[in-house]
Amino acid sequence: MLLTLGLILACYAAAIAAVHAILHWHKKRGLDTAGRELEYVLVTKQNQLQIEWVIRALMMYAGLRGARLRLTIIDDHSTDLTIPIVQRLTLDRSVDVWIVDASGWDPVAVMQHMRHPIRIRLNEAEDWAKIPFVG
């Protein structure tokens, strides 16, 4: 019985050591920050029926990849609940959100603070393939 318990503890110790060794190797090679952010630009107009599951899919995808999610929402004068839904969903999550009005946005300024943004226009059918778990 003690031998079995000792083997179980040894396996746990080996797993912990392996995780720490891999983390040290990643930090040494500079891999701890590369590829750790997903950046999406969502262009919305009256998309209250779709915006919640799109954001949830992006949050789940970022969680599975171990990355931080950065969203820029460019709203084209929505009169429905699109923006309140975005604010509610991202209120207590680890998601960086920037909401911009479409009439006063500068595309150069928006894209300048992002490395590799993926632009999704929710009212365009061809852009739906860019959403994880959809296309």
Residues 58, 134 contacting (CB under 8 angstroms): no
Q: Which helix (H) or strand (E) holds 115?
A: none
- pLDDT score, position 84: 92
Tens digit of pLDDT for each residue in 12-48?
A: 999 999 988 887 776 666 544 545 788 999 999 899 9
Position 51 confidence tier, pLDDT thresholds 50, 70, 90: very high
Tens digit of pLDDT for each residue in 68-80?
A: 889 999 988 889 9
Residues 46, 78 contacting (CB under 8 angstroms): yes
Output the furthest CA–CA distance in the chain (Å, rounded).
Answer: 72
- Alpha-carbon span 39 to 90, nearest angstrom: 15
- pLDDT score, position 66: 81
